[in-house]
Amino acid sequence: MRLAIIGAVLLLAGAAAAATGVLPVADLAALFDRVAPILLFVVAMTVVTELASEAGVFLWAARRLRHWGRGHSVLLWLFLAAFAALSTIFLSLDTTAVLLTPVVVTVARQPGLPALPFALTTVWLANTASLLLPISNLTNLLAQHSLGGLSPAGFAALMWAPALAAAVVPLVFIGIVFRRDLRKRYSRIAVSRIRPDLPASAGSSAGSGVAGPPAGDRVLLAASALVLAVLLPALVSGAPVWIPSAAAAVVLGVVFALRRPRVLRASLIPWSLLLFASGLFLVMETARHLGAPALLSQLAGEGQGLLDLFRLAATGALGSNLLNNLPAYLLAEPLAGTPPRLAALLIGVNAGPLITPWASLATLLWHDRLVRMNVLISWKGYALFGLIVAPLTVLAAVTALAATLP
């Protein structure tokens, strides 16, 4: 509700700017052409992942990872970390925060393992692992447009080294700080006996993202898994991502209409996020038109040396933790100019928002899921960890980027 209210205020402010001529009609039309396909992709992917979660795909996979852990907490943690990274890369950071967090916590809790290291791994990888592909993060899709529609393969070729570094640093930190917890053993339970352990308030994917399918309904599970298996390569094929994602949403919608029509409700569409993003795009476009990026130029600097790239990345990280990563990116984007500088900015706004709760929407969504499952983590403790991890992650990722530039 708060997100919707903020979005409504932003949308009204942006509409006022357009109505008074502060935001020219030509700029408004160009903004619509740029963001409409992105927002359509966000809606379609949200529907796909919500329905896949409702079918039990995420819980099915996590149960098997727990079984493959063979009673070793560290193995289970590494498996779940890989799961979170892949979910982020191919399904976006918000999917990991919303749908995977309850699954990871449940799988850790059932054998009596502490939930905190698993929960932190999920949210940090939701942010830092979102550097590799355009579909991993909304900021990446915006950057892809600025890069002239760079192909997913070209984007990955630019970002693979910083993406790897940004994923490794948080894992090393967690491995050191929680080494005692990760040395624990847990009882091995057959996959068929592992059951979801969810609070009553988390009974649907729209609310928590971990509701399983009705007993014996393997059609939904198989159909959802098949749709995802076809969708993922289609998303990196180079075709406009809204086309395969919309097709997948339609296919899953038809399957659920035949099997579980009660699941198909208006709440599957992320109305609050749409309202917030639309309003934010309008306001940030107005701010850019009024010259706000010029105010950041002294911080962001120019050039493509290691220090120059780190300076721009630090500007993005600082702006993300003060405001949010999306406005931080939109304000600093005009200062990037070249692919290496744009990559550095993405490092700052994707891997840097690990300190304040509002730095990324994924972090807020993650915390909301933890509260629903009675997993307590203070924002003070989160910020203290973030003050260590965020600078190290950004520094490592920028160094990796500079080392791989021609």
pLDDT at 378 over 90: no
Our CA dihedral for 227, 233, 238, 240, rounded to 10 degrees, sits at: 20
Contacts of 105 (CB under 8 A, 6+ apart): 115, 118, 119, 369, 370, 373, 375
Strands (E), 183-339: none
**Quick check: is 325 in a domain?**
yes
Question: Where residue 190 falls among pLDDT bands split at 50, 70, 90?
Answer: low
- The model's pLDDT over 352-371, given as tens digits with 9 standing for 90+, comes to 999 999 999 899 889 888 88
Q: Which domain holds residue 153?
A: 14-404
User: Does residue 2 lie in a domain region?
Assistant: no
pLDDT score, position 1: 67
Query: Which segments of 129-241 does DSSP mark as H helices, in order?
Result: 138-146, 152-177, 179-182, 218-235
Q: How confident is the model at residue 209 (pLDDT cuts 50, 70, 90)?
A: very low
**Residue-wise pLDDT tens digits, 314-357:** 999 999 999 889 989 988 998 898 999 999 999 999 999 999 99
Band (216; pLDDT cuts 50, 70, 90) = very low
Q: Is residue 137 part of a domain?
A: yes
Residue-wise pLDDT for 24-38, tens only, equals: 888 888 888 888 999
**Any idea of the CA torsion for 386, 391, 396, 401, to the nearest 10 degrees?**
110
Please state, rounded to an integer, the average pLDDT across all residues of the chain: 87
Q: Is the pLDDT of residue 199 over 80?
A: no
Query: What whole-number percentage of the chain has pLDDT above 90?
Result: 52
Average pLDDT of the segment spanning 197-223: 53
- The mean pLDDT value for 256-282 works out to 89
DSSP-assigned letter for residue 72: B
| pLDDT recorded at residue 156 | 96
Cβ atoms 131, 166 nearer than 8 A = yes
In a domain? residue 7: no
Residue whose C-alpha is closest to residue 122's, from 373, 395, 310, 397: 373
Q: Which of 43-52, 240-249, 272-281 has the lowest mean pLDDT?
A: 272-281
pLDDT at 206: 36
**Coil/strand/helix, residue 185:** strand
What's the average model confidence in pLDDT over 216-242? 89
6 in a structural domain: no
Q: Does residue 3 fall inside a structural domain?
A: no
| Tens digits of residue pLDDT in 273-326 | 888 888 888 888 888 878 777 777 777 778 889 999 999 999 999 999 998 899
The full DSSP string for 22-33 is SS-HHHHHHHHH
Q: What is the pLDDT of residue 189?
A: 62
Q: What is the domain count for the chain?
A: 1
290: left (phi over 0), alpha (psi -120 to 50) or beta: alpha
pLDDT in tens, 82-94: 999 999 999 999 8
In a domain, 4, yes or no: no
- Residue 5 located in a structural domain: no
Cα 40 to Cα 380: distance, rounded to the nearest angstrom:
36
User: Is residue 191 predicted with pLDDT exceeding 60?
Assistant: no
> Residue 157 pLDDT more than 60?
yes
Task: Reply yes or no on whether the pLDDT at 207 is more than 60.
Answer: no
The pLDDT value given to residue 70: 86
Residue 78's closest CA among 67, 69, 90? 69
